[in-house]
């Protein structure tokens, strides 16, 4: 009888130890940061030289690849619960929002399109009635500009031309003329005024050299959890006379600034992503003539976790993680 009791006690002790170990393992697997701290995807086996070779071919990572990349980006957003909220700055006539809404999706999309040039905005609003939408989708349009301040500002464009090049800055060599005034606000103030749900699932920024102003206006130091995933265009507009803030940065210093705020950065290709921050940086990336788009992903956010699972299992990269 005593022996049987001792055996039962021993088995109970073993069970308690195993149960404790199981919950310890479960905690590592199911808690976000712990899982990704134990399994460092960033350092697995990405071949940097392969990435540099692919960059050098100059056949990808161009300014239109952000729209072509969206169906893949959609798979990164897919695990989101509830609605997926997207905001685009510099919407033009709605090329991006049209692609977004027509991409098959199971979770409703709420898209906010901002276009500052009134004539282009009118074309946008007329076109949106023809955009394909799925059940629960919503699309809102606003004739305003986003920057790092509030108020009104002149907006410039090439004379007598509906162009993608309109901006808040004047570029003399392109014969820019003032085409009107526009209401300007910051992203946090825009979100607060229109009661937009945060975190915002995805933000697209294409504002002709004023991307740094928009991003600085986002105040990432205090708002990064509201903006875990965004992309922005670079290019020659960062170096001409229309923008002031952009000329104070190299691409390297801007990516380093985002890195310091907790964001990993990638050049957007189709269908590829090329990591460019931290140890992945190469000075050949500092090439504004490519007008590449950059995807910034807040480390340990839900999009970041989803992205790195994709990088390990899907060829989203010219040099696949293994």
pLDDT tens digits along 134-149: 899 999 999 999 999 9
Give the C-alpha distances (Å, rounded to integers) separating 227 from 15, 73, 106, 207, 302: 45, 16, 22, 18, 11
Cβ–Cβ under 8 Å, residues 88 and 231: no
Q: What domains are defined for the chain?
A: 39-152+186-313 (3.40.50.150)
Convert the pLDDT of each residue in 192-202 to its tens digit.
999 999 999 99
Convert the pLDDT of each residue in 176-193 to its tens digit.
788 889 999 999 999 999
Please state, in angstroms and rounded to a whole number, the distance separating the CA atoms of residues 148 and 259. 20
Tallying the residues shown for the chain, one arrives at 322
pTM of the model: 0.83
Please state, in angstroms and rounded to a whole number, the distance separating the CA atoms of residues 202 and 174. 32
Residue carrying the six token digits 């199911």? 30
Determine the Cα angle at 237 with ends 123 and 98, to 5°: 30
Q: At 68, is the secondary structure helix, strand, or coil?
A: helix
Determine the pLDDT at residue 37: 38
């Amino acid at each position: 009888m005593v022996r049987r009791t001792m055996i039962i006690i021993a088995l109970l002790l073993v069970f308690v130890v195993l149960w404790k170990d199981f919950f310890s393992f479960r905690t590592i697997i199911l808690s976000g940061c712990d899982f990704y701290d134990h399994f460092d995807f960033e350092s697995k086996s990405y071949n940097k030289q392969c990435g540099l070779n692919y960059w050098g071919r100059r056949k990808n990572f161009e300014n239109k690849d952000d729209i072509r990349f969206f169906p893949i980006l959609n798979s990164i957003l897919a695990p989101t619960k509830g609605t997926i909220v997207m905001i685009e700055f510099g919407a033009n006539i709605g090329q991006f929002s049209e692609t977004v809404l027509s991409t098959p999706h199971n979770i409703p999309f709420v898209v906010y399109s901002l276009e500052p040039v009134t004539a282009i905005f009118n074309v946008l609003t007329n076109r949106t009635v023809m955009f394909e939408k799925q059940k629960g989708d919503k699309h809102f349009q606003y004739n305003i500009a986003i920057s790092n301040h509030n108020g009104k500002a002149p907006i410039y464009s090439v004379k007598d031309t509906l162009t993608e090049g309109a901006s808040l800055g004047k570029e003399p060599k392109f014969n820019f003329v003032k085409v009107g005034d526009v209401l300007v606000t910051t992203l946090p103030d825009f979100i607060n005024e229109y009661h937009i749900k945060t975190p915002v699932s995805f933000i697209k920024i294409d504002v002709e050299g004023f991307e740094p102003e928009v991003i600085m206006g986002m105040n990432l130091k205090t708002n990064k959890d509201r903006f875990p995933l965004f992309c922005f265009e670079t290019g020659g507009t960062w170096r001409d006379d229309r923008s002031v803030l952009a000329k104070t940065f190299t691409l390297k210093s801007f990516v380093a600034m985002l890195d310091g705020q907790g964001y990993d950065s990638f050049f957007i290709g189709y269908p590829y992503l090329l990591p460019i921050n931290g140890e992945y940086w190469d000075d050949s990336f500092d090439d504004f003539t490519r007008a590449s788009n950059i995807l910034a992903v807040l480390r340990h956010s839900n999009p970041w976790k989803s992205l790195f699972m994709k990088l390990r299992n899907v060829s989203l990269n010219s040099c696949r993680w293994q």
